[in-house]
Structure 1
């Protein structure tokens, strides 16, 4: 079945809806089993959503927060997803949530796969709510088109939760080419998924992705596999 696409006239309206969506999913999971797992993307788009969620009145001490992917940069780097989550989400009431870091002290992301797989696997079996984004090249998570490690990340041989990606020569990755990412099964098994898109260009990218090979525009893999569990929110 197809994903849902919800259009809003303003970004504020889209973000308000997104905050209710995420909070509702977490509240439902906590009511069902006493805890919830929220996997979130970084980048520029989620910041205002994190600001809204940080003050949301729910039992955050029952929530585990993990990352969809991470650049292999220090925590104080401007492009650290963990830093964004710490400073914009895990403040206020949401400061009681538990964070599952993805970046480690290992020199290379490949050296951290085993350790982070053990840390993330219990929280992605399945995750209750996952927040995705989409780049102009059709990537989501750190699934960059034709990147080294992409095929193994989308379909890990033993169902692993974490994979290393080398995005060298992938323009969408910029200078931060070494990454850890959730794998295809970890993302697409989520109970609820939200993709937040802003601007007309992103609608064009989405349309192209739905007609493309997933190795060329990997966001299609997530869209196809999540199906009706995915809600795409768009605003101009």
Structure 2
């Protein structure tokens, strides 16, 4: 079954719907089992969504927030997804939620895989709500096209939920090529998934990705495997 694509006339309307979507998924999980796991992407798009969520009336003390991926930079760096989550989401009412960092003191992300796999596994069995993005090169998480470690990230040999990626030579990664990322099974087993896209270019990229090999545009792996559990939100 296919994913759902919902189009909105304005970004504000898309963001308002997305905030209700995420909050509803977390509320349902808390009602079912007393806690909820929210795994989120970074980048420029989620900030306004985090602002909306941070003030929502939820039992945030029952929510664990983790990252879909992270650049191997200091956690207080402006380039770190953790910085965005701390500054835009984990404030106000949402300040009561717990954060599971992805960056460690290890020099190389490969050295942190075992530690972060142990930390993230309990929150990925499965993830209650995951927020995904998509780059103009067709990547999601840190699944960059043809990057070193991509195969093991999409299909980890022992079902790991965390993998290291070396995106050297991948234009979409920018200067921060060393990453940790959630793996294919962690992402695609999520109970509810939201992908937030803005602008005509992103819609065109998505259409190309759905007709491409996942090695060339890895977002397709997530879209295909999540199927109807994925809601894609788009606005101009």
The equivalent of 2:27 in structure 1 is 27
In structure 2, C-alpha distance between the alignment counterparts of 1:102 and 1:25, rounded to whole Å: 23
The equivalent of 1:224 in structure 2 is 224
* TM superposition outliers: structure 1 runs of 4+ over 6 Å: none
The equivalent of 1:124 in structure 2 is 124
The equivalent of 2:110 in structure 1 is 110
The DSSP-based 3-state class of the residue aligned with 1:196 is strand
The equivalent of 2:144 in structure 1 is 144
- Map 1:30-45; keep pairs closer than 5 Å: 30-45=30-45
Q: Cα distance, 1:2 vs. partner?
A: 0.1
The DSSP-based 3-state class of the residue aligned with 2:16 is helix
Q: Cα distance, 1:76 vs. partner?
A: 2.2
In structure 1, C-alpha distance between the alignment counterparts of 2:26 and 2:75, rounded to whole Å: 26
Tell me the TM-score normalised to structure 2 length. Answer: 1.00
In structure 2, C-alpha distance between the alignment counterparts of 1:11 and 1:75, rounded to whole Å: 29
The DSSP-based 3-state class of the residue aligned with 2:122 is helix
Offset from partner CA, 1:102-154 (integer Å, 9 cap, x none): 00000010000000000000000000000000000000000000000000000
The equivalent of 2:172 in structure 1 is 172
Q: Cα distance, 1:75 vs. partner?
A: 1.7
Q: Is the 8 A contact 2:41 2:132 kept in 1?
A: yes
In structure 1, C-alpha distance between the alignment counterparts of 2:125 and 2:147, rounded to whole Å: 26
Tell me the TM-score normalised to structure 1 length. Answer: 1.00
Name stretches of at least 5 consecutive residues in structure 1 with no aligned partner.
none
The equivalent of 1:207 in structure 2 is 207
The DSSP-based 3-state class of the residue aligned with 2:48 is helix
In structure 1, C-alpha distance between the alignment counterparts of 2:208 and 2:48, rounded to whole Å: 27
Across the aligned residues of Structure 1 and Structure 2, the Cα RMSD in angstroms comes to: 0.3
In structure 2, C-alpha distance between the alignment counterparts of 1:77 and 1:108, rounded to whole Å: 17
The equivalent of 1:158 in structure 2 is 158
The equivalent of 1:94 in structure 2 is 94
In structure 2, C-alpha distance between the alignment counterparts of 1:25 and 1:78, rounded to whole Å: 29
In structure 2, C-alpha distance between the alignment counterparts of 1:180 and 1:192, rounded to whole Å: 22
The equivalent of 2:51 in structure 1 is 51
The equivalent of 1:198 in structure 2 is 198
In structure 1, C-alpha distance between the alignment counterparts of 2:117 and 2:75, rounded to whole Å: 20
In structure 2, C-alpha distance between the alignment counterparts of 1:157 and 1:72, rounded to whole Å: 23
In structure 2, C-alpha distance between the alignment counterparts of 1:179 and 1:133, rounded to whole Å: 16
Offset from partner CA, 1:34-55 (integer Å, 9 cap, x none): 0000000000000000000000
